[in-house]
Structure 1
Amino acid sequence: MVGQPSPKWKEVDFFVLADQHAEEATDKPPDGLYAWMVSAACFVSLMLSIGINDAYGVYQQHYQLNEFPQATTTLISWIGTVQFLIMCLGGVFSGFLCEHFDTRILNAAGALLMGVAFISGSYCKTVEMLMVTQGLLYGLGASFPFIAGTSIPSQWFTKNRGLATGIALSGSGIGGMWMTSATQALIDSLGRPWAMRVTGIVSMLAVLAVSPWMRVRLVPNRNERLIDWSLLKDLRFSVFMAALVFDIAAYFGPFFQMPSYSVVVLHKSQSWGSNIDTLMNGLSVLGRLIVGFLADHIGPLNLLIINTIIAAIGILVFWVPFESVRTFFVVVFLFGFSIGGIVSVIPVAAAQVFGIARLPSIIGLLFIGYFVGGLLGVPPMSALLDNVGGRTNYTSSIWYMGVLPLCSLVLLVVMRLLITRELKVKI
């Protein structure tokens, strides 16, 4: 009625799977100062592990236009794709290991492997060898900080879980932002080999430094299965996992292709193109923080749906029909903000709906979806650019990027309807 306040969002427990019995792994309480130190450590770990992967567009541009001009876009894109795929596949094993071994030691081991990968990659002079070092070896090392940094914050918070997770995951966007600019500057001033050596040393030392705080708070009853396939028996989890496949498939395309698009289509400089990735990473940080804050008030799954809508609008409404700098910036703003929000609320939504005790292994299972999403993302986009667009016409590739979030949107709406048909419910 007029004059009455609007009803608040309902707060209802929608756990599809009850939390399994878990033991406290530490006497440190949740929501306290130590919990925020853990969140800060996850921030740094993700800043280097995922941030470097987000900055691969600079290497893609350099390889494509300078170092390997005779190689196809598809072949070169496999370096960054392998990097992400192995990170996800390794995340499945990391989730299992995090439930059985000290995550602080695992995080430190990952840091060492990350450094070795980039330093050894600096001596590689072929695309194939870069796939092994910059791609496979780095992805394997980064999988430990990736799974730990993504899953641990939710265990340490009960009051501000969305905000704390958003802050931790904003590290990947901030890392991508400064790593993009730093990588371009290092390549311009020192050359690609030394750029990789500096990156390897910095990432290794920084992640090693924060590893003592990378610890879980809850240890569930031991499950000796590497992957808990019983999760897939619940239709809602299966739909959620399928939706993430399409969201992750859409994630890296713009980061990989926008720098070269800026040069080839908009006729800008290579540094201008790398700055676009920097800007988009900065916007993704903003998206992570804002959406993380809002998730505590209106629900992570609701925010995931809203952000997927924004991502689809950005690509299909403003990028597909236009080839101008102004509309391109609109795409960068909409997609950068929304994709940051998407990746930040995925673990929060998983914790909200499926419970937090086994969150590392749950997210490890979701990383199988990430792996499939990586295969459905950049490689087909690059193949369309090579074979349909002749390496200069990006239209077919952009259409593909836009259809992916639409597919995810349909599945997310189905999942929400399976849980509840009430509209104003915090979930």
Structure 2
Amino acid sequence: MSPSDAVELDEPFSGRNSGRRELAIGQSNDNPPPDAVAVEDVPPNGGYGWAWGIFLAHYLSDSTFENASNLEYALIGGLSISSSGLSAPLVSVSQRYFGTQITLLIGTGLLFASLFGASYATQIWHLFLTQGVCFGFALGFLYIPATAVLPQWFSTRRSLAMGIASAGSGLGGLAYNLVAGRIVQELGVDWAYRILAFCGLAVNVICSFLLKDRNKAVQPIQNAFGYRELGNVEVILLIAWGFFTELGYIVLLYSLPNYATSIGLTAGQGSVVGAVLNLGLGLGRPVVGYYSDVFGRINMAALMTALSGVVCLAIWVPAKNYGVLLFFALTAGCFSGIFWMTITPVTAEVVGLKRLPSSFTVICLVLTFPSTFAEPIALEMVAASGYLSSQIFVGGMFLLAAASTWVLRSWKINQIEMKAAREREADSPDAGQIAAEHNIWLTPKSLLWLGRV
């Protein structure tokens, strides 16, 4: 059976009544058929539905802490992201017992403590605890609940909603890079941390009280560690996508300001390059989200990840002046920062809303390894053979990530075909044979089929 044949999708349609429906891949899902059967809650398609790179460039150029190595600074940046993954089980427990808003307020308090504490750091291990571990846990307590909540409010426009919401991190990163870079130059790194701490406190307290979940309707599975998810091939493929993407993206995000100074640009120009990368994130994510809903979420995830690798190899490698580097930063921002805005819609597409929190927790935990060691690996490569090896490494990681997503796409196509075949041939004596035929899901046909997935 071809995936273009009518199949039943797992995602509910948007409308006043709950339900699933028969839909061809690529067919518009704005008008459900009259015989759709009401089986599950419908998201209402609306409702309530950071700049370590600057500090890293400052620390690398100004020996702020005695005897601190570049590798240690890189590990701090990695910890600030990987610790968010390590916090995932605690976040799940907090959400289960205290709810989403209290969990977000805990994250807000940790965020303020991490940045304000970092401003008084006098030894490198102080920075490990504040900017590294504490900030990472704050990020986890803020990001994970908010990310899991948003898909509950949308169905047909889920990726667009995630694109618009995640554009905030790009636009916020733009402001953070420009403001933090200027404050560091004018007032010093300590006051930069304090000002950002109070800004984060004010904004996140407001957002914590405004954000609402739909857990009563969706009834998600909130396990502290759903280890059984590691036995599912689709979750392994999602992890592979995230693993390779993080190895590339973290290096790109943290290295650009320092790369700018390495080719003769000023620290101010380096902060602008980092800001333009974040501008690309802010501009590109809503567009990617919109077209993900139109052309398929897994399709766009694979395409954008592949383009990230191509752009790094084709533009970043020869970028030796300010203009070309700005162009690369903007282009790379539009393409490369899509993982954390697409992972939840793609995961929901693959495992469903009920398994989303459990699967997402496992994914976050596994991604702590690449998040921690990506930048240290890159800095060691730069120290050994210059930035070219690091640039090739980043491009290669993105291409491997794209390959993982393309294999995931093949799996999804097979699942859709198998489900449709089971329903069509439920009463056939050859039903067992039909199911056996679809056990082999990685085939040239499913890999090369062009259609909305």
* TM band (smaller chain): 0.7 to 0.9
Cross-structure match for 1:231 = 229
Contact 1:300 1:349 in 2 (8 A): yes
Cross-structure match for 1:197 = 194
1:66 lines up with 2:62 in the alignment: yes
**In structure 1, distance between residues paired with 2:98 and 2:451:** 38
Cross-structure match for 1:147 = 144
1:167 CA displacement:
1.2
1:254 lines up with 2:252 in the alignment: yes
1:316 CA displacement:
1.4
Distance 1:224 1:181, change over 3 A: closer
Give a deviation string over 1:314-369, Cα, whole Å, max 9, x none.
Answer: 11122235534444334323311112333311111111111113423322211023
Q: State the identity as a percent.
A: 23
Tell me which amino acid in the other structure corresponds to 2:251.
G
Contact 1:108 1:208 in 2 (8 A): yes
1:86 CA displacement:
0.6
**Equivalences for 1:203-352 in 2 at 5 Å?**
203-219=200-216, 225-265=223-263, 267-321=264-318, 323-352=320-349
**In structure 2, distance between residues paired with 1:222 and 1:322:** 46
**In structure 1, distance between residues paired with 2:235 and 2:140:** 23
Distance 1:414 1:75, change over 3 A: same
Aligned length: 390
Aligned-pair Cα RMSD in Å? 2.6
Contact 2:96 2:222 in 1 (8 A): no
More relative contact order in 1 or in 2 (CA 8 Å, sep 6+)?
1
Give a deviation string over 1:97-132, Cα, whole Å, max 9, x none.
Answer: 324431001101110111011111111022221111
1:381 CA displacement:
0.5
**In structure 2, distance between residues paired with 1:414 and 1:376:** 26
Contact 2:111 2:200 in 1 (8 A): yes
Contact 2:312 2:391 in 1 (8 A): yes
Cross-structure match for 1:401 = 394
Cross-structure match for 1:94 = 91
> Could you tell which deviates more after superposition, 210-219 or 296-305?
210-219
1:30 lines up with 2:44 in the alignment: yes
1:8 CA displacement:
9.3
**In structure 2, distance between residues paired with 1:305 and 1:224:** 28
- Is the partner of 1:426 in helix, strand or coil? coil
Is there any run of 5+ residues in structure 2 with no aligned partner, and where?
12-19, 21-38, 414-445
Distance 1:309 1:14, change over 3 A: farther
Tell me which amino acid in the other structure corresponds to 1:237.
V
Give a deviation string over 1:34-79, Cα, whole Å, max 9, x none.
Answer: x1xx24xxxxxxxxxxxx1xx1100000111124386432211112
**In structure 1, distance between residues paired with 2:192 and 2:60:** 17
Cross-structure match for 1:123 = 120
**In structure 2, distance between residues paired with 1:264 and 1:29:** 49
- Select the residue among 132, 136, 153 that pairs with 1:135: 132
Give a deviation string over 1:180-229, Cα, whole Å, max 9, x none.
Answer: 11111111222111111111111012101111222320246585742112
Give a deviation string over 1:372-423, Cα, whole Å, max 9, x none.
Answer: 221342121112123x03xxx2112212112111211221111111222173
- Is the partner of 2:59 in helix, strand or coil? helix
Give a deviation string over 1:131-188, Cα, whole Å, max 9, x none.
Answer: 1111111111221111012121100112321111111111111111101111111112
Contact 2:43 2:152 in 1 (8 A): no
Cross-structure match for 1:175 = 172
**In structure 2, distance between residues paired with 1:292 and 1:198:** 32
Tell me which amino acid in the other structure corresponds to 2:280.
L
1:426 CA displacement:
2.6
1:274 CA displacement:
0.5
**In structure 1, distance between residues paired with 2:390 and 2:296:** 33
Contact 1:102 1:215 in 2 (8 A): no
TM-score by length of 2: 0.80
Contact 2:250 2:375 in 1 (8 A): yes
Contact 2:273 2:325 in 1 (8 A): no
> Could you tell which deviates more after superposition, 118-127 or 353-362?
353-362
1:186 lines up with 2:183 in the alignment: yes
**In structure 2, distance between residues paired with 1:12 and 1:297:** 18
**In structure 1, distance between residues paired with 2:238 and 2:276:** 30
Is there any run of 5+ residues in structure 1 with no aligned partner, and where?
1-6, 40-51
1:14 CA displacement:
6.0
- Select the residue among 98, 101, 110 that pairs with 2:107: 110
Contact 2:292 2:300 in 1 (8 A): yes
Contact 1:104 1:214 in 2 (8 A): yes
Cross-structure match for 1:4 = none
1:271 CA displacement:
0.6
Give a deviation string over 1:11-54, Cα, whole Å, max 9, x none.
Answer: 86268xxx9xx998xxx97234xx1xx24xxxxxxxxxxxx1xx
Contact 1:148 1:214 in 2 (8 A): no
**In structure 1, distance between residues paired with 2:253 and 2:153:** 31
**In structure 2, distance between residues paired with 1:399 and 1:411:** 19
Cross-structure match for 1:426 = 452
**In structure 1, distance between residues paired with 2:6 and 2:321:** 44
**In structure 1, distance between residues paired with 2:293 and 2:40:** 25
